[in-house]
Amino acid sequence: MPTVNREDVEDLLKRLAGRNPLRSEATIQADVRQILLTGGLNLAENDLDVHLEAQVGNRRRIDVEVGYTVIEVKKSLSETIVQAAEAQLGDYVAMRSHETGQRYVGILTDGAEWRAYQLRNDVLAEVTRYTLKAGRPDLQGLLGWLEGVLATRRNVPPTPGEIRDRLGAESASYSLDRANLAALYEAHGQLPTVQLKRQLWSQLLRSALGTQFSDDDELFLEHTLLVNSAEIIAHLVLGLDVTDMRPATLLAGQRFALAQIYGVVEEDFFDWVLEVPGGESFIRTLARRLARFDWANVEHDVLKVLYESIIGTETRKRLGEYYTPDWLANQVVAEVVTDPLNQRVLDPACGSGTFLFHAVRRHLATAEEAGIPLATALSELTGHVLGIDLHPVAVALARVTYLLAIGRHRLIDQHRGPITVPIYLGDSVQWTQRVDLFSQGNLLISTGTGSQIFEDELRFPDHLLADAGRFDRLVSEMASLAAKNRAKGAIPSLTALFKRLAIAEVDQPAIRDSFEVLCRLQDEDRDHIWSYYIRNLVRPVWLSRPENRVDILVGNPPWLSYRHMSKDMQGVFREMSEARGLWHGNTVATQQDLSGLFVARAIQQYLKVDGSFSFVLPNAVLDRGYFAGFRSGKYSDPSEPITVGFTGSWDLRRLRPHFFPRGGAVVFGNRTNDSAQALPIETVRWTGRLPRGTHSWEAAEPHLTRHPSTLIIGAQGTDGPSPYGARFANGATIFPKVLFFVRPQPASPLGFGAGRRAVQSQRSSTEKIPWKNLPDTSGVIESEFVRPVLLGESIVPYRVLPAREAVLPIEGDRLIGSDDSRLDLYPGLAEWWRFVESQWVKYRSSDRLTLMEQLDFRRKLSHQLPPSPLRVVYGASGMHVVAALVDDQVAVCEHKLYWGAVTSYEEGFYLSAILNCPALTQLVRPLMSYGKDERDIDKSIWKLPIPFYNPSNEVHTRLATLGRMEASLVADLDLSENKSFIQLRQMVRKALAEGPYSEEVDELVVGLLDQ
């Protein structure tokens, strides 16, 4: 990369960003050329790379041409000028694309604003733009955008940051490639072959992800882009020139077969792009962008970064797709893989291959230290480190990650032998618990091709699966022979294939029969990528045989919640969980997730007796009641009872920032034939704050502290030993807020009559689609139905902030809705309610609940009616427990609050003193259910032994007195309405900590709970 004279380039940018109307197009054009040449874009200082006034048909000239990009420069980009310029630019792009067969990009610029275009169905369409800010133009921002469009840099180091910046969803490269792919699918997506592959993709992901999977074209296109990228990167790892390779060769992996590297790139769901016009051009362009990077030198699972950079955060959250940080995977592998050369390691949910990456590196490093020849080390490696995943995109990425872990210098070594990357697309849980694939010494695959005997089956002697590489090559080459040009009905000879793979004569008749079936499938245009299907379908079942089980299981299984599973999956999940003593149901049914069952099932199927395992799991597995069956280590499946001896755990809850949507943990153990050993309550707690972008263990270790700790095991239910647990209830779910919450409107000069108020929707920045797109609702409502509502943010310690207002159909102690004749006694309310009810029916995501059922879900509103004269309320979530005494008999509580009636002010101040005590928060934190932080307070506080208030108990009365004094202190504070409730809480906590009562309150609360 040439040296950039930053000052000179910044001067150029300031001139361009200033949009000086006196500057000519020629001057701007010269400055644009200078930016291209001196901006560090890897363009030469001669006219070979950057062409000015390049001639194109009809004596017209392109202002600037760079590689596969044409740039049109204008003095300004007014609407009239843009229309004419886009038409001109469209002609240039179309002509160049037609002449070269390459996909061209057009840029229109006045020096300050840069717009990039592509042809979409022969019409020029804008894809991405960048605008320089006058006065403070961002040099790196523009150069990064330009480089993404031009793809001119070379030998870019494939660090996580560079991958994210140059290929991620925010990059110009991604915008162009994604738009190109979308145009291809829009024009040709209905072709039968494309729809078949999309359908197979959809079926597989629905099995893998349950109801979290959204079957939409957007995700299919993003997965296509990811897999195509991974397959091109696989070639670049070997140092192959992908810019000079036929696209069909790239996506079929033909060069890998020539190099005797199998199981990396093959025909799959995502090569549909080659079946549509324009697809080859798309692959060429994508290859050119990816060739910018130096893929020979990789130290992390960078494809995980690529995946997370392209698939949006919300989509990954919905799918439960969060990959393990490299530094953690490194340490887990180091902890459990103690004898790499002699232990067979399997990751049954391998994702993008993070654990495999470190297991491969560990195996090869140990082999090198032992002086084992490379050919032997690689041959043994692929039988010692294996992966399975049900997600086709994950499998494609993991296979390339496996190559990256081996490294180019080993792959191109002339002494290495054939390599088969042992990562398979398969169902590790085996939901259907299939045993029917194997019968009488044969592997059977049904194809449904006809009625003659054996015509509908592919049949292979099952002992051939013992050599995974040979079996995969056998099936792959059979499929290739069946697909080659031949007269319909003719069956090619397999003699050479049998000799090359040393297939025993006794096995050849069954293989010939299967080959005839493959040929018929090909003749009927129903090949259905059988090679891909067979090799991946059988491997999990074959590995589950006792003689094939592994020594080590490692990985991060899916954290798929029960509530997000499909109904069919829920049924099987419950049945399999009950059989193994893992099901708890009742109020915690929806909190259970697949991870515990997955680990139990993986141990049952794949781990030999005395083998070890280590899995990254939700932190709830360490101490939540609904994981009690898992922690027992005894999984009483009637077909094969399993016992586990847990040896320890790592508690990762205290690490910041969080790398999973919920707190994480790691558990360790062994499969045993002896009695089960429950998970010890002793753990190793990790604490620390990692700098942003930390990937390697070397970078993470200085920021981490590990120390022994003891777990506090939570009960299965939510109530604990405190009798107050039964008294407190969650507030009402007043959602969607835009239909209920209001702000006052000024009265008209004529007024509205006594007892009526004008109101309008109160909007919030947190509204989600579709509710955020609704217009405001206005009305004149009877005053009694405009109720104060206390939210979580309404409470600071000992004090209630001004309530919000909402239109609620509450008459006395009852709710009145559309089916209640009394509603029409209140015309203002009736009009409002019927309108918002119509909005609910139109935009709700489910037709199961009426608006009244939604408002009074689980009777959380009607249980509050009429409100108690005196209540203690506390926040349902937060980093600190926050409570206050409420003596408002009209206000209702929303679901971010818990409320409980008290009989006197003394009891209220007693409870407030306990709940607002900082020591209480520290004591309850280990008992909370948790997501990213221990914020879900809910009813966890009642798991502490907080006794009923007793006026005869001196400690109780003293706490009541101190609570009243602290409440008075807070009441005197000047709390500005301009500050957020978070800031106000901080101010109050600080005032209480510096006040005269906090030390005594702490001492009394700790002493009370110790009893």
- DSSP annotation string for 939-959: TGGGGS--PPP-TT-HHHHHH
pLDDT at 981: 92
Q: Are residues 887 and 964 in the same domain?
A: yes
User: Which residue did the predictor score with more confidence, 751 or 369?
Assistant: 369
Residue 49's pLDDT band (cuts 50, 70, 90)? low
| pLDDT tens digits for range 649-664 | 999 988 888 778 778 9
The Cα 512–Cα 179 span in angstroms is 46
The pLDDT of residue 960 is above 90: yes
Domain end, chosen from 647, 680, 710, is at 710
The Cα 241–Cα 323 span in angstroms is 31
pLDDT at 761: 94
342 inside domain = no
335 inside domain = no
The Cα 243–Cα 246 span in angstroms is 8
Domain end, chosen from 513, 548, 583, is at 548
- The DSSP call for residue 354 is H
User: Which residue did the predictor score with more confidence, 251 or 870?
Assistant: 870
| Cβ neighbours around 886 below 10 Å, total | 24
The pLDDT of residue 133 is above 60: yes
Q: Are residues 15 and 107 in the same domain?
A: yes
The pLDDT of residue 339 is above 90: yes
The Cα 444–Cα 427 span in angstroms is 17
pLDDT at 320: 57
What would the two tokens of residue 226 be? 């990811």
pLDDT at 917: 95
Q: What is the bridge-based pairing of β-strands 786-790 and 892-893?
A: parallel
pLDDT at 221: 92
User: Which residue did the predictor score with more confidence, 805 or 305?
Assistant: 805
331 inside domain = no
Q: What does each C-alpha distance from 961 to 972, 984, 997 come to in angstroms?
A: 17, 24, 10
Q: Which of 482, 480, 460, 459 is nearest to 471 (CA)?
A: 460
Segment 759-777 shows an average pLDDT of 90
Q: Are residues 842 and 975 in the same domain?
A: yes
Residue 121's pLDDT band (cuts 50, 70, 90)? confident
| pLDDT tens digits for range 582-597 | 887 655 566 678 889 9
Would you say the C-alpha torsion 169, 173, 174, 176 has a positive or negative sign? positive
Residue 455's pLDDT band (cuts 50, 70, 90)? very low
User: Which residue did the predictor score with more confidence, 451 or 944?
Assistant: 944
Bridge partners, 423 (sequence order): 387
337 inside domain = no
Q: Are residues 149 and 82 in the same domain?
A: yes
Q: Are residues 530 and 581 in the same domain?
A: no
Q: Are residues 186 and 144 in the same domain?
A: no
87 inside domain = yes
Instruction: Return the SS3 of 755.
Output: coil
pLDDT at 431: 63
Q: What is the bridge-based pairing of β-strands 69-73 and 105-109?
A: parallel
The pLDDT of residue 47 is above 60: no
- The DSSP call for residue 332 is H
Domain count, the chain: 5
Share of the chain above pLDDT 90, in %: 45
Residue 184 amino acid letter: L
Domain end, chosen from 153, 187, 207, is at 153
The residue written with tokens 């101010």 in the block is 987
pLDDT at 934: 58
- The DSSP call for residue 56 is E
| pLDDT tens digits for range 164-187 | 888 888 888 888 999 999 999 999
The Cα 307–Cα 321 span in angstroms is 10
Q: Are residues 444 and 503 in the same domain?
A: yes
pLDDT at 911: 97
Q: Are residues 421 and 442 in the same domain?
A: no
Share of the chain above pLDDT 70, in %: 89
Segment 198-203 shows an average pLDDT of 81
Instruction: Return the SS3 of 782.
Output: strand
The residue written with tokens 């008075």 in the block is 968
370 inside domain = yes
Structural domain boundaries enclosing 805: 726-1010
pLDDT at 437: 62
Q: What does each C-alpha distance from 676 to 213, 644, 646 come to in angstroms?
A: 36, 5, 8
Average pLDDT, the chain: 86
Segment 568-594 shows an average pLDDT of 78
Q: Are residues 385 and 516 in the same domain?
A: no
What spatial distance separates the first Cα and last Cα of the chain, rounded to whole Å?
70
- The DSSP call for residue 715 is P
What would the two tokens of residue 726 be? 């039964």
Q: What is the bridge-based pairing of β-strands 550-555 and 345-347?
A: parallel
Residue 1's pLDDT band (cuts 50, 70, 90)? very low
Q: What does each C-alpha distance from 488 to 192, 479, 516, 521, 772 come to in angstroms?
A: 22, 15, 12, 11, 60
Q: Are residues 490 and 592 in the same domain?
A: no
pLDDT at 526: 59
pLDDT at 965: 97
The Cα 55–Cα 95 span in angstroms is 11
| Cβ neighbours around 346 below 10 Å, total | 30
Provide the CATH number for the domain around residue 64: 3.90.1570.30
**Would you state the torsion angle of the CA atoms of residues 614, 616, 619, 623, taken in this order, to the nearest 10 degrees?**
-20
Q: What share of the chain is helix, strand, coil (3-state, %, to 5)?
A: 45, 20, 35
973 inside domain = yes
| pLDDT tens digits for range 688-722 | 999 987 888 999 999 999 999 888 775 544 445 78
Residue 897's pLDDT band (cuts 50, 70, 90)? very high
Q: Are 226 and 397 in contact (CB under 8 A)?
A: yes
Q: What does each C-alpha distance from 69 to 9, 91, 766 come to in angstroms?
A: 21, 13, 41
Q: In what order do the strands lie in the sheet with 113-120?
A: 50-56, 60-66, 69-73, 105-109, 113-120, 123-131
The pLDDT of residue 832 is above 90: yes
Q: Are 622 and 711 in contact (CB under 8 A)?
A: yes
Beta-carbon contacts of residue 135 (< 8 Å; ≥ 6 apart): 14, 17
The Cα 538–Cα 785 span in angstroms is 64
| Cβ neighbours around 116 below 10 Å, total | 25
pTM: predicted TM-score of the whole model, two decimal places: 0.70
Segment 899-926 shows an average pLDDT of 93
The pLDDT of residue 289 is above 60: yes
pLDDT at 315: 63
Segment 238-245 shows an average pLDDT of 88
818 inside domain = yes
Q: Are residues 744 and 875 in the same domain?
A: yes
Q: Are residues 776 and 830 in the same domain?
A: yes
Phi, psi of 894 (to 5 degrees): -90, 170
pLDDT at 516: 86
Q: Which of 977, 971, 976, 1006 is nearest to 991 (CA)?
A: 971
Q: What does each C-alpha distance from 796 to 312, 906, 966, 971 come to in angstroms?
A: 35, 19, 12, 11
